[in-house]
Amino acid sequence: MKKEDKNTKSMSDPLNCTACQSTAKMITKARKDGVILNFDRADDMKACPIGADSACCKHCFMGPCRLNARDPYKKVGVCGATIDTIMARNFARAVAGGSAAHTDHGMAMLELFRDVVNGKIQDYEIKDPFKLVAVAKSLDIETEDRSVEEIATDLYKELERTYTQVEGEIPFMKRVPEATLENWRKLDIVPRGAMREIMEIMHRTTMGVDQHYENITKQASRTALSDGWGGSMVSTEISDILFGTPTPVEVGVNMGVLKENMVNIIIHGHEPNLFESMVVSVGSEVLVQAAKDAGAEGINLVGMCCSGAEMMSRHGVPHAGNFSSTDAILVTGAVDAMAVDIQCIKQGLAAVAHCYDTPLITTNTRAMIEGAVHLEFHEHDPMACTDEIVIKAISRFKNRKHPIEIPKEVNSGIQGFSHEYISYMLGGTFRGSYAPLNENIINGRIRGVAGVVGCTNPRTRQDDSHIKLVRELIKNDVLVLLTGCSQIALAKAGLSSPEAAHFAGPGLQEVCETVGMPPVLGLGSCVDNSRILIAASAMVAQGGLGDSLADLPVAGAAPEYMSEKAIAIGQYFVASGVYTMFGVTFPIVENTKFHAHLFKELEEMGLGKWGFETDPIAMAHSMIAHIDKKRADLGIDKARERVLVDMSDRRQL
């Protein structure tokens, strides 16, 4: 489908590669230093046009088979597979890949939880017993007069089914609004355990099995739901129980959080346990003294990407940038160690790290990189790894030999809005609820809610679409919830501070000023998109906005996505009833049956639908038009006109 063609613009100007000033400065320095970054490779690597349209198949060795996107029904594969089968299979496998990433991460968190509860792991503890009880209650686990250990043991057993359940519905189906769940049952897409669903996708998409695009899409929905309402949701809930549920915290974001006279350590990846232990290590008196002995003022720990977003949200740890900046930041020369775990870690980091003598340290048995140092992280002895990372960083600091240039940008804002906090913030301590949010939507001050999420992609100008899209949405009174790299893009653009309320339309601005909140609310990492699902369910349960998730005046977008994980997230949002728009590129041929299925027919089945648009302003207006249509269907479109007229009258007075 039509692609963003950045290649028409001159990439010699770094500001055509990124809207992020600090990243642009590092692109300039990298070019001076003769260092290649992801932007340069994206420029150099023309995307295969057949692959970009998803018009090829290599699922067996009679192929690979290439079809013609211009005339999609002219040819079929050697086996006879049509364009619709080929695209649906490719799409389903992307959903499987993304869901596997989230659910494997979630399962790792759950295993950690199990061994903390049974005492095998001593270095972590349950930090939020209130959340433990709340989650247990939501799954009908008995909590009265029971110890934390008893409740936690039952919760572990119950949640393990999220992954291993062979038949029947997974636990968090209890959180899905009844009307939505009934529709899923009717369509036969209620997920069983993620392992089963992913296995079945891989089976059904091999040569000669499922060759009906509608049936393949059904399995893609079921698998994606086992991620959003399964693996990802478990990850968020268990991480909150173990490490604390986020509440708003003021925090600095951007490359300026690096400090020239300190030992700088970056953690980049997705599982919060490594990062939590790093916080302990950098607080160790012995190591701080060692850093001072090496001539540093101290140790400076910062995050990048999604575990960075979680630590920023939970503990206010500064965040240095999103996906496209992870190699650019090494060009500062100021990074004394970068430790990574899993997901979104570009192999190209190794070469850049090498140029600046920065140790790149892999820590997870599932993810090694040729040329990186591997220091394996074990939860039963986490400090063995994290202390060693600090020692390596101190040694690099002592032997720094590259000139240092740290961009000064630091953008301060408020992060850490869990769905629990949104309820508390709007409803107050004693009557925490979604009633005020629903009321403000019904009366029209808030037109609707948008989730803007996902990656940055060097094939399009970094952060640019995130920022333009979100500014247009809030200007039109749409409250925006953010996660992942999108949250970081908006933080760098200064939109996460309460003062940014003046960018919002009059209705949203009034709500923000009354509550003292920014017009965009950052919820954490990509697995924390599950917080959006829970918030949406709470809105339905609160009443007045229909009885199914598909009735809500909401929309979703990933304007600069690059990962299979984003496709999985998009598909679970769509299957949950949300109109979900992607930018940059979409692996599909227009004017095909599969395209009509994703972009239209799923909605007719009571689910949401996909949308694609590379222009962020047009994307915003498609989302707003959808929100307005839902408002009209709910019969609340008139109220908004009244309240906005009232407000302008009051302003005049």
Binding site for ligand NFS (CB under 6 A): 270, 305-306, 322-323, 343-344, 454-455, 484-485, 525-526, 563, 565-566
- Residue 168, CA distances (Å) to 197, 235, 299, 548 in order: 12, 21, 50, 22
Position 59 contacts ligand SF4 (CB under 6 A):
yes
Contact between residue 147 and residue 407 where contact means Cβ atoms under 8 Å apart: no
Distances (CA, A) of 47 to 557, 592, 616: 23, 22, 22
Q: How far apart are CB 69 and ligand SF4 at their closest, in Å? A: 15
In the list 63, 348, 427, 587, the residue contacting ligand SF4 (rule: CB under 6 A) is: 63
Single out the residue of 425, 440, 520, 455 nearest to residue 481, CA to CA: 520
The tokens describing 20, both together, are 């992020």
Could you say which residues in the range 178-207 bind ligand SF4, by CB under 6 A? 207
- Classify residue 185 by its DSSP letter: H
Q: Pick between residue 56 and residue 220 the one whose CB is nearest to ligand SF4.
A: 56
Among 15, 36, 50, 60, binds ligand SF4 (CB under 6 A): 60
Distance CA 428, CA 381 (A): 41
Please say which residue, 90 or 548, places its beta carbon nearer to ligand SF4: 90
Contact 79, 62 (CB under 8 A): yes
Closer to ligand SF4 by Cβ: residue 56 or 426: 56
Query: Quick one: which segment of 61-69, 135-143, 528-536, 592-600 binds ligand SF4 (CB under 6 A)?
Result: 61-69
DSSP letter for 448, please: E
Amino acid (1-letter code) at residue 123: D
Query: Cβ distance 193 to 231 under 8 Å?
Result: no
Q: How far is the CB of 207 from ligand SF4 (least distance, A)?
A: 4
Please identify, using beta-carbon distances, which residue of 327 and 388 lies nearer to ligand NFS. 327
The tokens for 51 are 């692959």
- Residue 47 is classified by DSSP as P
With respect to ligand NFS, which residue has the nearer C-beta, 455 or 512? 455
Q: Which of residues 234-293 bind ligand SF4 (CB under 6 A)?
A: none
Contact between 51 and ligand SF4 by CB under 6 A: the answer reads no
Which C-beta is closer to ligand SF4: that of 59 or that of 222?
Answer: 59
- What strands lie across the sheet with 360-362, from one edge to the other? 299-304, 263-268, 337-340, 360-362, 373-374
79 contact choice in ligand NFS, ligand SF4, none (CB below 5 to 8 Å, kind-dependent): ligand SF4
| Binding of ligand SF4 by 50 (CB under 6 A) | no
The entry of ligand NFS, ligand SF4, none near residue 454 (CB within 5 to 8 angstroms by kind) is ligand NFS
- Three-class secondary structure assignment of 556-598: EEECCCCCHHHHHHHHHHHHHCCEEEECCCCCCCCCCHHHHHH
Residue 62 interacting partner from ligand NFS, ligand SF4, none (CB closer than 5 to 8 Å by kind): ligand SF4
Task: With contacts defined by CB under 6 A, name the span among 16-24, 73-81, 520-528, 585-593 that binds ligand SF4.
Answer: 73-81
Partner touching 59 among ligand NFS, ligand SF4, none, CB below 5 to 8 Å by kind: ligand SF4
Q: Tokens 């790149």 map to which residue?
A: 360
Site residues for ligand SF4, 85-104, by CB under 6 A, read 86
| Binding-site ranges for ligand SF4 (CB under 6 A) | 57-60, 62-65, 77-79, 81, 86, 207
